Structure 1
Amino acid sequence: MRESKPAPTPCFATGQGIICAGLPRSGTLSLATALDILGIGPIQHGLRDTSTREAYAWSHAAWCSFPYLRSRLSSRDSKLPFYLPPYDALLPWTRADWDRLVGRYRCTTDVGSMFSEQLIGAYPDAKVILVERPVDRWARSYGRVLIDKTYCSVGGFIKCRLGPWADCTTTTAYYDVSMGWLGTFSRHEAHRMLPVRHREHYEMVRRLVPAEQLLEFDLKDGWEPLCKFLNLPVPDVPFPHVNEETEFLRMLRGLDIMILSKLAQKLFWALLAGVAAAFLSRSSTRRLMLHALRRTFAHYHHCK
């Protein structure tokens, strides 16, 4: 008698994904930790998925999903990022495209929330968890942590401009995602757009997702509504409340130090190579001059 194959692990590829549509800076790490405790995974989250390949894939999705990024290609100086093929047609992604990026995950959260409209369209049967932070508090937090400390000002210059010279390009890729979603690369305009995009995002999720597939979840309510929605027993541990900002800022500081350290090493070796080249060049010139003088003296002596 043939043994039956085990059931595939629930994930987006099997049509059993969970879209956590609450925007970044809305307790996404606390929710991801809670889902971990419930045994639901793997979970996509920006603080966990730090691979360059993953960052490039999300940025590719942004260029294919956000009209603002494509509109910039009409200007004379704009071109595709170096990690995208120059001939890419930037067509809207299909289910197969999204399967390649999130198919192995059971849940998307954090950066994935900015693609909620596309994910809801690609996975219409997915359950959706929506955490909403008051717009004024959310805009201050997102603006301070992501716009000011990650993508703009001195920290943004280190990560987005100097980073590629130190072979660190993940922040540059996520810069396209975040600013492309906001519809601007201007720091001032990005701050102005935050409450607008917040309102549009939550209205869109509520409009597209059937009521029976949507949980509007307040983290302060703890396990009960979340477990009921997912048909899981309530665990015998406190609901996690993770200080995401502290963890994120610690990661940013470490990234800045790593980039500057790599650049210092490259500069040191470049200077050392330059000094060596100059020394060798001078030595070669000196040898040539001595050789020429010897030949001249020998010729003069021979003529006498």
Structure 2
Amino acid sequence: MASTKNPLHRLFGIHAPKHGDSSHDERDSNVNLQLISLGLPRTGTTSLQEALIKLGFGPCHGGVELLRSPAQTARYHDIYTRLIAHKTQAGDPDLNAQIHKSMQGFRSSTDTPLAFLVAETIAAYPNAKFILTVRPDGPKGWWTSIWNTSSWHWRTDWLRTVFRTLIYPVSFLRRVDDKVLLIREICLQRYGCWDEGTYERHNALVRALVPPERLLEFDVRQGWGPLCGFLGVEIPEGVEFPRLNERESMVSLYLGFMLFGGFVWCCYAVFVGGAVAVAVWPGLLERAVEGVRGWMVGVW
């Protein structure tokens, strides 16, 4: 079930609408990607997504869309796994078809999953325009931001053990965790690192593969001017450029992941504890049923 509808996801604040407006249900099957941001997460991708929608380039696929569709998470889990195992590569017809299917109905895209599939995305969309979002504080600022929001997935201390243990009983959350670990593995293979060096090496790859006339290197602090000029559209009159920072939303999301997993563990514990109690004291269930029955008779 998608995270937009699951009542437990809503209860624990991990449903997708809690973390940004959705374009997922507004897709037109006749629309294909025209504009793709290959900038890494935490480089202004949420602000860019909102700006593109305002300029008429929606629906726009953002990283949070993977929360709206567990099927999307599973699809990219498979793609990342096959790339790591060298069972597919950029330009393979089957890989192109999978990427096209996942992005069908979206006019633009930012953030994951395509940001970590640079060569594969360029091969799948040879006529698209591309944006590379960058941070004013460079590699160190990017890595600090990534670490402060998402390090639950790859840190090596006891907090990683706590996180994985808490989310383990929820298959959807395990797949999200596994997907991030696969992204880390891809970066280790391609860039030789998963730290602040990833930022510069990733950006260098984008610059090397995308023709300059089809690439805009963009700092969201620049506002509408460079973006609208690159896209050939008018600057929206009287509309302020979006300035969004989803750090608090991400922190809330991961807290919700752990609370949800802890809740499921408690449910398991109650079920197992009840089963053990019935096995040890066979008459316990019968007495409990009789007690409830007596209470209901008294009430009615």
Aligned CA distance change for structure 1 residues 138 and 282 (closer, same or farther; 3 Å)? closer
Identity of aligned residues (%): 25
The 5 A counterparts of 1:182-193 are 182-183=187-188, 193=194
Q: Helix, strand or coil for the counterpart of 2:36?
A: strand
In structure 2, the partner of 1:55 is 73
In structure 2, the partner of 1:251 is 253
Q: Helix, strand or coil for the counterpart of 2:39?
A: coil
How many pairs were matched up?
A: 245
Confirm whether residue 29 of structure 1 aligns to residue 54 of structure 2. Answer: no
In structure 1, the partner of 2:233 is 232
- Which residue, out of 135, 145, 149, partners 1:145? 149
Shift of 1:53: 1.4
Structure 2 counterpart of 1:59, which letter?
Answer: H
Q: Comparing 171-180 with 199-208, which one deviates more in the overlay?
A: 171-180
Indicate if the aligned counterparts of 1:24 and 1:110 stay in contact, CA closer than 8 A: yes
Indicate if the aligned counterparts of 2:131 and 2:216 stay in contact, CA closer than 8 A: yes
Confirm whether residue 273 of structure 1 aligns to residue 290 of structure 2. Answer: no
- Which residue, out of 119, 124, 139, partners 1:122? 124
Show structure 1 runs of 4+ deviating over 6 A.
none
How far apart, in 2, do the equivalents of 1:183 and 1:242 lie?
29
Aligned CA distance change for structure 1 residues 282 and 138 (closer, same or farther; 3 Å)? closer
Aligned CA distance change for structure 1 residues 282 and 248 (closer, same or farther; 3 Å)? closer
Structure 2 counterpart of 1:166, which letter?
Answer: V
Shift of 1:276: 1.1
How far apart, in 1, do the equivalents of 2:81 and 2:109 lie?
19
CA RMSD of aligned residues (A): 2.6
Shift of 1:249: 0.9
Confirm whether residue 20 of structure 1 aligns to residue 37 of structure 2. Answer: yes
Shift of 1:26: 0.7
Indicate if the aligned counterparts of 1:59 and 1:176 stay in contact, CA closer than 8 A: no
In structure 2, the partner of 1:91 is 88
Confirm whether residue 163 of structure 1 aligns to residue 167 of structure 2. Answer: yes
How far apart, in 1, do the equivalents of 2:284 and 2:30 lie?
68
In structure 2, the partner of 1:293 is none
In structure 1, the partner of 2:181 is 176
Indicate if the aligned counterparts of 1:159 and 1:171 stay in contact, CA closer than 8 A: no
Structure 2 counterpart of 1:183, which letter?
Answer: L
Structure 2 counterpart of 1:110, which letter?
Answer: D
Confirm whether residue 11 of structure 1 aligns to residue 32 of structure 2. Answer: yes
Indicate if the aligned counterparts of 2:100 and 2:124 stay in contact, CA closer than 8 A: no
- Give TM-score scaled by structure 1 length: 0.72
Indicate if the aligned counterparts of 2:37 and 2:110 stay in contact, CA closer than 8 A: yes
Structure 1 counterpart of 2:145, which letter?
Answer: S
Structure 2 counterpart of 1:215, which letter?
Answer: L
Shift of 1:225: 1.2
Q: Helix, strand or coil for the counterpart of 1:26?
A: coil
Unaligned 5+ residue runs, structure 2?
1-27, 286-300
Unaligned 5+ residue runs, structure 1?
1-6, 72-89, 185-189, 284-304
How far apart, in 2, do the equivalents of 1:11 and 1:282 lie?
62
Aligned CA distance change for structure 1 residues 282 and 48 (closer, same or farther; 3 Å)? closer
In structure 2, the partner of 1:300 is none
Indicate if the aligned counterparts of 1:44 and 1:109 stay in contact, CA closer than 8 A: yes
Aligned CA distance change for structure 1 residues 57 and 37 (closer, same or farther; 3 Å)? same
Q: Comparing 129-138 with 42-51, which one deviates more in the overlay?
A: 42-51
Shift of 1:228: 1.6
- When Rg is computed on C-alpha atoms for both structures, the one with the higher figure is 1
Indicate if the aligned counterparts of 1:27 and 1:244 stay in contact, CA closer than 8 A: no
Indicate if the aligned counterparts of 2:60 and 2:108 stay in contact, CA closer than 8 A: yes
How far apart, in 1, do the equivalents of 2:198 and 2:169 lie?
33
Q: Helix, strand or coil for the counterpart of 1:169?
A: helix
Aligned CA distance change for structure 1 residues 255 and 130 (closer, same or farther; 3 Å)? same
How far apart, in 2, do the equivalents of 1:52 and 1:141 lie?
26
Shift of 1:221: 0.9
Q: Helix, strand or coil for the counterpart of 1:11?
A: coil
Aligned CA distance change for structure 1 residues 226 and 155 (closer, same or farther; 3 Å)? farther
Aligned CA distance change for structure 1 residues 238 and 22 (closer, same or farther; 3 Å)? same
Structure 2 counterpart of 1:240, which letter?
Answer: P
Shift of 1:155: 5.5
How far apart, in 2, do the equivalents of 1:124 and 1:281 lie?
71
Shift of 1:34: 1.0
Indicate if the aligned counterparts of 1:217 and 1:226 stay in contact, CA closer than 8 A: yes
